[in-house]
Structure 1
Amino acid sequence: MSAFLYGVALQWKLDIRSKTMLITCYLVPLMFFAFMGGIFTSINPEAHHTIIQSMTVFGVSMGALIGLPPPLVEIYGGNIKNVYKVNGVPLFLGVVTHVISAFIHLFMMSIIILVVAPITFNATIPKNLPVYVGSLIVFIATTLSIGSALGVLVKNISKLTMISQIVFLPSIMLSGIMFPIEMLPKGFEEVGKVLPATWGYRLMTCEKFEVAFLIPLIVILLVFVMVCGWVLVRIVRR
């Protein structure tokens, strides 16, 4: 256990120095928050009530879908996995340490938005903070499961970039954070329902846990955890 915790702490420190994680988990999300937060609240006064949740969905989606997969591709798409095997290190450790580290960074970024938004944009603080934090934790974990699956499935960085964008952009455009989901064509609205961003946004804007919004996130989480496990088992057997 001590070796595992040391590995997580080491990965967290490495991610702090990583330009990719710095940009995708902090710089771009917080710049988007600073820039678009003012625009949203100026155009639509009602945005004060949801600006925290919408900017958090954007930041978590970017960090999990664009920031997390590249380091995993370097491990499982290259020769680093062979180093793991030779030294008797479980292959799942690479995914677990990166996911926990990314989770901590994304949670910290989300807390920054939660604290700063009421000061800068007069945003409404969620009425039930325990429910909001619980919803945030589930949403981050679910989105990271998709990023992990992309990282272990795709073996080429250029392909990964394209696929990550294909998942990320609909997550932003079809989740309801940019404009009400009811304004979308019916087909796009249905597509949005398979994305964790849609359910995460709905869950975080509730004053109490809504099981109807929680279940899709749990299902997505379990599916992609199983996908990661299946891919890692195949790698071990090669």
Structure 2
Amino acid sequence: MSAFLYGVSLQWKLDIRSKSLLVTCYIVPLIFFALMGGIFTSITPEMKHTLIQSMVVMGVSMGAFIGLPPSLIETYGSDIKKVYKANGVPLYLGLVSMFISAFVHLMIMCVIIFLIAPIAFDATLPTNIPLFFAALAIYIAVSLSIGSILGLVVKNQAKLTMIAQLIFLPSIMLSGIMFPINLLPKALEVIGKIFPASWGYQLILNNGFQFKNLWYLLLVIFVALMLCGLLLKRQKSN
């Protein structure tokens, strides 16, 4: 247990110094929040009631799909994996420590948005704050599980960037955070439901923590955990 905690602590320190994580988990999401928060609430004043939820979905999606996978490639696509094997360290330790570290960083970013939005843009706080953060934690975990699969499957950094963008952009554009999802053509609305962002957004809205918004996210994380386990076994045999 002490070795596991040391690994998580070490990964946390490495991530703090990581420029990639700093950009994807803090700088870009917070700049987007600072710019678009004012635009959204000026064009559509009613947006202040869902501004916090919209901004955290965007930030979490970016950190999970674009920020986490490159770190996994650096570990499992390099000699670091051989070091793990040579020292008898379980291969899953790297994935778990990066997952936990990224989870904490994304939660910190969301808390910053949560605290600043009411002051800067007169955004409305969630009616049930503990339930909001519980739903947010679930959405972060689901998003990171998908990012973990990307980092374990894709070996090439250029391909990873392209695939991550193909997941990230539809997640944002078709999730309902930019405009009501019912304004989309039916086909795009159905496609948007494939991505967890639309379900996560509904889950963290006021009175949204219901099984109808939760079941798909639970299914995704269950499948993702199974796939990660299979991918790590394949990594071990290679």
Kept after mapping to 2: 8 A contact 1:77/1:154: no
Kept after mapping to 2: 8 A contact 1:84/1:90: yes
Match of 1:52 in 2: 52
Q: Deviations over 1:150-195 (max 9, x none)?
A: 0000011011000000000000000000111001111111111111
Residue 208 of structure 1 deviates from its aligned partner by 5.3
Match of 2:36 in 1: 36
Residue identity matched to 2:123: A
Match of 2:172 in 1: 172
**Aligned residue pairs, count:** 238
- Gaps of at least 5 residues in structure 1 are none
Match of 2:224 in 1: 224
| Residues in 1 aligned to 2:156 and 2:208: alpha-carbon distance in whole angstroms | 42
Match of 2:161 in 1: 161
Residue 206 of structure 1 deviates from its aligned partner by 2.8
Q: Deviations over 1:56-80 (max 9, x none)?
A: 0000000000000001011112222
| Residues in 1 aligned to 2:30 and 2:67: alpha-carbon distance in whole angstroms | 14
Kept after mapping to 1: 8 A contact 2:141/2:221: yes
Residue 114 of structure 1 deviates from its aligned partner by 0.5
Residue 97 of structure 1 deviates from its aligned partner by 0.4
- Structure 1 vs Structure 2 CA RMSD: 0.8
| Residues in 2 aligned to 1:208 and 1:70: alpha-carbon distance in whole angstroms | 33
The TM-score normalised by the length of structure 1 is: 0.98
Match of 2:23 in 1: 23
In structure 2, the residue corresponding to 1:214 is in which secondary structure? helix
Match of 1:214 in 2: 214
Match of 1:107 in 2: 107
Residue 207 of structure 1 deviates from its aligned partner by 2.4
Runs of 4+ residues deviating >6 angstroms: none
In structure 2, the residue corresponding to 1:194 is in which secondary structure? coil
Residue identity matched to 1:133: F
